[in-house]
Structure 1
Amino acid sequence: MHAVVLREFGSAENLRYETVPDPEPGPGQVRIAVRAAGVHFIETVMRAGAASDLAPPLPELPAVLGGEVAGVVDAVGPGVDASWLGRAVVTASGTPGGYAELAVAGVEQVYPLPRGLGFQDAVAMVVTGATAVGLLDIAGITADDVVLVTSAAGGVGRLVVQHALAVGATVVGAAGGPAKAEAVRKLGAEAVDYRADGWDDTVRHLLGADRPVTVVLDGVGGALAATAFELIGDGGRFVSVGAASQVGFTPASDRVAHVDALLDLLARPGDRPGYERRALDAGARGDLVPAVQSFPLSHAAEVHAALERRETTGKVVLVP
């Protein structure tokens, strides 16, 4: 089969499209003929060999990155019912090996594709969508809230914006660059370009002097999060879900409630399957609609480079 192999930590060019032996499913596993493989920004950090408290442990080399795939089961291991053969499935096993034409996963971590949900959208929902669902549960957004979403054009951000609008909240999305800001406006939210000087003053102007932000949903961290925090009125909530900037942010003020949603979700791994199922079902119903950018599997190196340059929007997917 073909796979994208990392043999040395470093730049995106270290991802090589190669021919490698087919993986065989072990006990309790299925093998999936991959139709779509998800790509996460954190995988660019892992590829570079940058150890971080915000990233999973570095893989042993050589490695095939990617922990979420959708496709069709083409083989089963010992102890797995043969009825899985030929079924369309999606998994967020977290086990490396997704950037490939074939991948294995534990059968207990595999979900049949809900009716009406395609392979690429399933990959977009099973992790990114589940994170959004968990974040929204924690944030508890209502129609009375004024919500600021950082990285609003990203995979999680777009889904959060959709939900907040659906419950009747006022929503401002902050995105990097005019094109991404326009993509957020097309969802129905107000939008600002956080790369522009004085973007926080633009938010104040959009909302009016007497209407502060009540909730910030942040997935960026660093200076952007610090600026967003200052827009929250007393008694508001700052909810963080990771730090794409690789710089954490912890508010040094008790006038606003701070929740680290990522740590909260990681502390309750037993809740994860429920979030994954809810996200897949929401995608199948059309309640949450992911934006997907798909690229050939052989272009994985270029995709990683584009992610690092912040040139992508929505969920990035590789297609064998």
Structure 2
Amino acid sequence: MTQTKAIAFTEFGSADVLHPVDVDIPEPGPGQVRIEVRAAGVNPLDHKIRSGAMNDAFPVELPHVPGVEAAGVVEAVGEGVTGLMAGEPVFGRTLTGAYARLALADAGRLVIKPDTLGFAEAAALPVAGETSYRVFEALALRTGETLLVHGAAGGVGSLAVQMAAGRGVRVIGTASPANHAYLRALGAEPVAYGEGLVERVRELAPDGVDAVLDTTGLEESIAASVALAPAERVVTIGSPVAAGKYGVAFSSGGGRGADRGGPAAEELLALHAAGRLQIAVHRAYPLEQAADAHRESEAGHLAGKIVLEP
């Protein structure tokens, strides 16, 4: 067998451009491993790239297989790889598109998956965990402070809430009322977004909050953020345009030097081992239904992460 199944798009557009394809089986180079993907995370960046909206910041060659994170089993190792061998369960960032049955990864960016963690749950951790850890560093978040998280029930937000709470930070999270009980279970004090948000947050924190993580990129969320916290302690991962308009930081990650995936995974696995980590998989779709997964991801209002299972 020289080819394997994947999902790709040959043109930018709606979710309809995603379709199954046969691709060459990738061969691991020095320091790389090939993994048999058991679950791949679906992220907002995936459909932003697919639509063409991010082509200036994240240009891709067509046809393109989406996906940047996966959990699976090591199938083959490249030259110089130590500490990983065929058959070991792992999770982390991928080098080739994760919407595939086989994908390559840098061995140094993979983490051994404990038996107590399912593949779907593990696939929900790399991007959201690294993003939260990196933003917390940018915010200089400290124990005893109050953090506001916009979109707190989503894939990034739900992990950010738990990581912050685990550090002794008070967390207020915005979400639809249907997700408020879920947020309380994660350790956050929920508030509804929309008109009157600033006043609702001030009912919980009369002097405002110390820092804000915005996962939505919505102008109304960022405008509320700068009314509640100093602009220099507001970070959005949703929109560089809105960030510039309101004078707050935009964080996208992606650079190897800035990657904080290792320490983020260590922190998350410590919470998991202590029984203090809930990983919500909003829904698991078969790989062939990637277009449906993108449509649901774009619609928002998720409780946790969407994953694909080859």
TM-score (norm 2): 0.84
Q: Conserved in 2, the CA contact under 8 Å of 1:134 and 1:275?
A: no
Q: Distance in 1 between matches of 2:14 and 2:246?
A: 35
C-alpha spacing 1:202/1:52, structure 2 compared with 1 (3 Å)? farther
User: 1:121 is paired with a residue of what secondary structure?
Assistant: helix
Q: Distance in 1 between matches of 2:216 and 2:55?
A: 15
Which residue is 1:41 aligned to? 44
What pairs with 1:190-269 in structure 2 (closer than 5 Å)?
Answer: 190-194=189-193, 196-207=194-205, 210-221=206-217, 222-232=219-229, 238-243=233-238, 245=239, 247-250=241-244, 260=249, 262=251, 269=257
Q: Conserved in 2, the CA contact under 8 Å of 1:71 and 1:90?
A: yes
Which residue is 1:101 aligned to? 101
Q: Does 1:64 align with 2:81?
A: no
Which residue is 1:91 aligned to? 92
> What amino acid does structure 2 have at the position aligned with 1:216?
V
> What amino acid does structure 2 have at the position aligned with 1:296?
P
Which residue is 2:74 aligned to? 73
4+ runs deviating over 6 angstroms: none
User: What whole-Å deviation, never above 9, does each CA across 1:34-84 have from its counterpart, x for those lacking one?
Assistant: 11111110110110112356x5x2221111111211111122345556961
User: 1:135 is paired with a residue of what secondary structure?
Assistant: helix
What pairs with 1:121-136 in structure 2 (closer than 5 Å)?
Answer: 121-136=121-136
Q: Distance in 1 between matches of 2:90 and 2:186?
A: 29
Q: 162-171 or 28-37: which moved more?
A: 162-171
Q: Distance in 1 between matches of 2:39 and 2:279?
A: 14
TM-score (norm 1): 0.82
CA RMSD of superposed structures (Å)? 2.9
Q: Distance in 2 between matches of 1:167 and 1:290?
A: 18
Following TM superposition, by how much is the alpha carbon of 1:8 offset from its aligned partner in structure 2, in angstroms? 1.4
Q: Distance in 1 between matches of 2:17 and 2:212?
A: 37
Q: Distance in 2 between matches of 1:211 and 1:103?
A: 49
Q: Distance in 1 between matches of 2:32 and 2:161?
A: 36
Q: Conserved in 1, the CA contact under 8 Å of 2:96 and 2:105?
A: no
Q: Conserved in 2, the CA contact under 8 Å of 1:76 and 1:82?
A: no
Q: Conserved in 2, the CA contact under 8 Å of 1:125 and 1:283?
A: no
Q: Conserved in 1, the CA contact under 8 Å of 2:28 and 2:104?
A: yes
C-alpha spacing 1:31/1:61, structure 2 compared with 1 (3 Å)? same
Q: Distance in 2 between matches of 1:223 and 1:85?
A: 48
Q: Distance in 2 between matches of 1:270 and 1:166?
A: 23
Q: Matched residues, percent identical? A: 40
Following TM superposition, by how much is the alpha carbon of 1:267 offset from its aligned partner in structure 2, in angstroms? 6.7
> What amino acid does structure 2 have at the position aligned with 1:274?
G
2:300 to 296, 307, 310: 310
Q: Distance in 1 between matches of 2:165 and 2:180?
A: 16
C-alpha spacing 1:142/1:132, structure 2 compared with 1 (3 Å)? same
Q: Structure 1: where are the runs of 5+ without partners?
A: none
Q: Does 1:291 align with 2:304?
A: no
1:30 to 27, 33, 37: 33
C-alpha spacing 1:74/1:237, structure 2 compared with 1 (3 Å)? same
Q: Distance in 2 between matches of 1:30 and 1:170?
A: 40
Following TM superposition, by how much is the alpha carbon of 1:314 offset from its aligned partner in structure 2, in angstroms? 1.7
C-alpha spacing 1:248/1:261, structure 2 compared with 1 (3 Å)? closer
User: What whole-Å deviation, never above 9, does each CA across 1:82-106 have from its counterpart, x for those lacking one?
Assistant: 961111122313x232101111223
Q: Distance in 2 between matches of 1:155 and 1:83?
A: 28
Q: Does 1:8 align with 2:11?
A: yes
The number of residue pairs the alignment matches comes to 304
Following TM superposition, by how much is the alpha carbon of 1:126 offset from its aligned partner in structure 2, in angstroms? 1.9
> What amino acid does structure 2 have at the position aligned with 1:262?
S
> What amino acid does structure 1 have at the position aligned with 2:257?
P
Q: Distance in 1 between matches of 2:103 and 2:55?
A: 26
C-alpha spacing 1:52/1:304, structure 2 compared with 1 (3 Å)? same
